[in-house]
């Protein structure tokens, strides 16, 4: 594998369909909130969202459809989670960069807080910490225990304290390999597990639409 190449040769349409991992059906029913969790009035939860036990969702937090929040997690005002985001147990969000107990933030709306945005399909590992303001790109993967202090590109895999890019991940979660940043990669990437292909976009990757077999 070349230094700038990520993953295997793209698969044809039939192989793509045969190998594609099972996807969870999108539930249209109301969000599920497991006791003794608390969701304040004014929080927004999309259809099929799940809030695990011993969690707290503040007024002004936004949680997209199909997102699953594991137990012992607090989601504050100023936090926006897209659709189908996975939040591991004990993940930590913040909404004030330099807090003081003696000088509380005079916030009127959710936008008055330091913002955390997690795009559709991203994963936050157990006990990951996101220090606002920060943006986690679409389908990015944040490792367990990582501390995110800067924006994470789409489909990047980050680990450590502070979090750093160590590789790239497919929409299905499979690794696309360890490589230098996507912006410097020589070739598009392909997932050996499901056949999805990707092209470079900005500092990250974007899934390419499969139109026909090669």
Give the residue numbers marked as catalytic: 72
* Pairwise CA distance, residues 151 & 153, whole Å: 7
- Selection from 92, 65, 79 nearest residue 161 by Cα: 92
Give the integer Cα–Cα distance in Å for 15 and 1: 22
CA dist 167 and 160 (Å) reads: 13
CA nearest to 197, candidates 18, 23, 17, 9: 9
- Give dist(CA 56, CA 100) in Å, integer: 21
């Amino acid at each position: 594998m070349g230094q700038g190449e990520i993953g295997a040769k793209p698969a044809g349409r039939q192989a793509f369909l045969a190998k594609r991992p099972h996807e969870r059906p999108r539930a249209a029913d109301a969000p599920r909130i497991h006791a003794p969790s608390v969701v304040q009035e004014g929080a927004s939860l999309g259809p099929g969202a799940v809030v695990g036990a011993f969690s707290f969702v503040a007024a002004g937090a936004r949680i997209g459809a199909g997102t699953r929040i594991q137990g012992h997690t607090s989601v504050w005002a100023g936090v926006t989670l897209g659709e189908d985001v996975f939040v591991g147990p004990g993940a930590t969000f913040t909404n004030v960069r330099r807090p003081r107990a003696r000088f509380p933030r005079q916030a009127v709306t959710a936008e008055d807080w330091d913002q955390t945005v997690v795009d559709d399909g991203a994963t936050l590992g157990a006990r990951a910490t996101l220090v606002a303001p920060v943006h986690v790109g679409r389908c990015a993967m944040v490792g367990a225990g990582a501390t995110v202090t800067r924006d994470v590109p789409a489909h990047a895999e980050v680990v450590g304290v502070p979090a750093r890019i160590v590789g790239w991940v497919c929409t299905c979660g499979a690794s696309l390999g360890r490589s230098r940043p996507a912006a410097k990669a020589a070739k598009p990437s392909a997932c050996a597990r499901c056949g999805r292909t990707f092209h470079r976009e900005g500092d990250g990757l974007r899934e390419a639409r499969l139109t026909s077999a090669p």
